[in-house]
Amino acid sequence: MKKIFRLSQFVIVGIVTIMFSITPGFAGPKRGGDYIIPVVQFPPHFNAAIKSGSELATPASRIFVALVQINENWEPEPYLAKSWEISPDGLTYTFHLLEGTTFHDGKPVTSKDVAFSLETTKKNHPFGPYMFGAVDRVETPDKYTAVIKLKQPHPALMIALSMPLMPILPEHVYGEAQGPIRKNPANIMAIGSGAFKVAEYNAGKSYILERFDNFLRPGQPYFDRFIGKKIGSPSSALIAVSRGEIHHLVVGDPRMLAKLKKEKNLFVISRSTSGVGSVNYIEFNLRKEYIKDKRVRQAIAYALDLDFVIQKLHQGMTHRSTGPIHSSSPFYSDQVNQYEYNLEKANQLLDEAGYKRGADGMRFSLDLTYMPVPVIEHEHKMIAEYMKPQLKKIGINIILKAPADFMNWYSTLAKWEHDMSTSNIFMWGDPVIGVHRLFMSTNIKHRVWTNTAGYANKEVDKLLNAAAVERDIEKRKALYAEFQKIIAEDLPLYFTIEDVFHYGFNKELMNIGWEIWGPGYESMYWKNGQAP
């Protein structure tokens, strides 16, 4: 029997929502006003089919739609696809599209655009092989039916088909006839079928998206414009949100959060943003002397008091991580060695490994760098600075090498020149998409957020390959539980903390929707129909 998902219950909800907003006597959502967000890292363009990253995800998810959306319960809901069926063997997904949907240029959205978008994302996106390597082909029997045929089961497919991972692109704008897609001017002046259309792009400064009145969800969006403004520093952003020049701010620094909470025109929400699944870790370069010894990596883990880091350095703003899978994931397991703080155990391991202390009390030296990124940079810098005196206690001399900038750090790791570095990765909804890339022996590359540690374990490869095709949720959980145990033992990466994002929103903002990726801006509106 085929699994069938239909739109009916959502149609009813939608009709009620529309009636509520237009019926006299009901104080429904009001249209009007701009919504302005701060932009820390300015997006080079808006085409999420050829690039990943949080700086791109927010505007791209306003400009483009996807086949489905993933709610906070990790369930797919209709978006461009009003319903779908999955064959009993899990190899055929049949999507029925909403008829009458148009792109911003007025052209209809058809199944051929869906097929084109999947192939484009598969070929060009950094996660393309993981998201769509299992796809054999996309059939388009009619204008409003897209049939995805798989070579093998792919339990992560529905998440891969959501925004910001697979935008529906118009083939007539981005197809081969228009030249190489990476040089297409529509990457910047993008044309999608999302709630907002691109009106203006000022590189490195600002972008303006205007409401698309023919959006597939009648009545939405409510804002007239969605605007991104480059903000130079955290202090500048705090001043801007206080003055109402921007309408929300995301912070990670405890000092910034304390100031944010004092702003009378804001309310603060703390979320882990489960789909993003932001986890931080210490990467070990397994090619290097000392580091290639598992006992050294384990000793370093035992020497770090993560409870102290979280409570004292981060003032309780982060959570402890126990492994590569975020605690909000259905596949998370804490049944692993968690390396509770133990200097005696750390010293014992180093002694057993044969690394004796010299006359100065030191056993050997290691270089350490850290990831310099906005919002959470303080977390990485604090941990790196903490590690220097802490590892001295077990005889490891840390040579702290502060990166000149992000590209300097990126280049160091991509060239495999580091001994150790702090880093961060997003799970992007499913381990197949965001986690496998760090550990597969087939993914050792000169590119950050691949297996730059140089880790190769046949058992881990086997477990991850099996989990990538396992449709039974309990069996899949068991595979990932075993994987997490092995990683905690081998420790090619030592996972330290999970980020919690703290959003300060203007108090006049109504109806903040939430998805696994973060706020859903299409349903938001200003209390009085205009920005305060």
Q: Is residue 30 part of a domain?
A: no
> Can you tell me which residue has the tokens 């390959």?
465
How many Å apart are CA 406 and CA 423, to the nearest integer?
11
Could you give the 3-state DSSP secondary structure of residue 396?
strand
CATH number assigned to the domain comprising residue 482: 3.10.105.10
Asked if residues 82 and 89 have their Cβ atoms less than 8 Å apart, the reply is no
Q: Residues of the chain with pLDDT > 90: what percent?
A: 75
Q: Please say if the pLDDT value at position 14 is more than 50.
A: no
Q: Please say if the pLDDT value at position 100 is more than 80.
A: yes
Q: DSSP string of 246-306?
A: SSEEEE--HHHHHHHHH-TTEEEEEE--TTT-EEEEEEE-TTSTTTTSHHHHHHHHHH--H
Q: Is residue 532 part of a domain?
A: no
Q: Is residue 378 part of a domain?
A: yes
Q: H or E segment at 501? A: strand 501-506
Q: Is residue 59 part of a domain?
A: yes
Q: Please say if the pLDDT value at position 147 is more than 90.
A: yes
Beta strands in 20-151 (DSSP E): 34-39, 68-70, 76-78, 81-86, 92-97, 135-142, 145-150
Write the Ramachandran bin of 90: left for phi over 0, alpha for psi from -120 to 50, otherwise beta. Answer: left
pLDDT band per the 50, 70, 90 thresholds, residue 376: low
> Can you tell me which residue has the tokens 């082909």?
137
The per-residue pLDDT for range 417-454, each reduced to its tens digit, is 999 999 999 888 899 999 999 999 999 999 999 999 99
Q: Is residue 269 part of a domain?
A: no
Tell which residue, 433, 451, 434, has the closest CA to residue 442. Answer: 451
Would you state the pLDDT for residue 24?
Answer: 35
Same domain, 162 and 53: yes
Same domain, 285 and 217: no
Would you state the pLDDT for residue 7?
Answer: 42
Same domain, 458 and 311: yes
Radius of gyration over alpha carbons of the chain, in Å? Answer: 24
Same domain, 290 and 218: no
Same domain, 213 and 288: no
Would you state the pLDDT for residue 161?
Answer: 97
Same domain, 385 and 318: yes
User: Higher model confidence: residue 41 or residue 281?
Assistant: 281
CA distances 171 to 112, 276, 417, Å, are 8, 28, 42
> For the purposes of burial, counting CB atoms within 10 Å of the CB of 356, is it exposed (0-12), middle (13-18) or buried (19 or more)?
exposed
Q: How many domains does the chain have?
A: 2
Q: Please say if the pLDDT value at position 143 is more than 70.
A: yes
Q: Please say if the pLDDT value at position 208 is more than 50.
A: yes
The per-residue pLDDT for range 288-346, each reduced to its tens digit, is 999 999 999 999 999 999 999 999 888 888 889 999 999 989 999 999 999 999 999 99
Give the structural domain span for 130.
3-21+41-222
The rounded mean pLDDT for the chain is 90
Q: Residue 31 corresponds to which amino acid?
A: R
> For the purposes of burial, counting CB atoms within 10 Å of the CB of 55, is it exposed (0-12), middle (13-18) or buried (19 or more)?
middle
Same domain, 208 and 325: no
The per-residue pLDDT for range 475-498, each reduced to its tens digit, is 999 999 999 999 999 999 999 999
Tokens of 152: 């093998």
Would you state the pLDDT for residue 218?
Answer: 93
User: Among 222, 257, 288, where does a domain finish?
Assistant: 222
Would you state the pLDDT for residue 98?
Answer: 97
Tokens of 289: 């002397």
How many Å apart are CA 487 and CA 477, to the nearest integer?
15
Q: Please say if the pLDDT value at position 9 is more than 50.
A: no
Q: Is residue 123 part of a domain?
A: yes
Q: What backbone torsions phi and psi does residue 527 show, to the nearest 5 degrees?
A: -55, -40
Q: Residue 361 corresponds to which amino acid?
A: G
The per-residue pLDDT for range 380-417, each reduced to its tens digit, is 898 999 999 999 999 999 999 999 998 999 999 999 99
Same domain, 295 and 188: no
Same domain, 134 and 12: yes
CATH number assigned to the domain comprising residue 108: 3.90.76.10
Q: Is residue 503 part of a domain?
A: no
How many Å apart are CA 338 and CA 320, to the nearest integer?
10
Same domain, 154 and 89: yes
Would you state the pLDDT for residue 27?
Answer: 56
Omega cis (within 30) before 519 = no
Q: Is residue 514 part of a domain?
A: no
Question: Who's near 407: CB < 8 A, 6+ residues apart?
Answer: none
Q: How many CB atoms lie within 10 A of CB 142?
A: 10
Could you give the 3-state DSSP secondary structure of residue 11?
helix
Same domain, 216 and 286: no
Mean pLDDT of 115-144: 96
Question: For residue 125, what are the β-bridge partners?
Answer: none
Would you state the pLDDT for residue 8?
Answer: 37
Maximum separation of any 2 CA atoms in the chain, in Å: 85
User: Higher model confidence: residue 461 or residue 380?
Assistant: 461
User: Higher model confidence: residue 168 or residue 237?
Assistant: 168
Q: Please say if the pLDDT value at position 187 is more than 80.
A: yes
pLDDT band per the 50, 70, 90 thresholds, residue 80: very high
Same domain, 12 and 131: yes
Would you state the pLDDT for residue 375?
Answer: 59
> Can you tell me which residue has the tokens 């160091």?
412
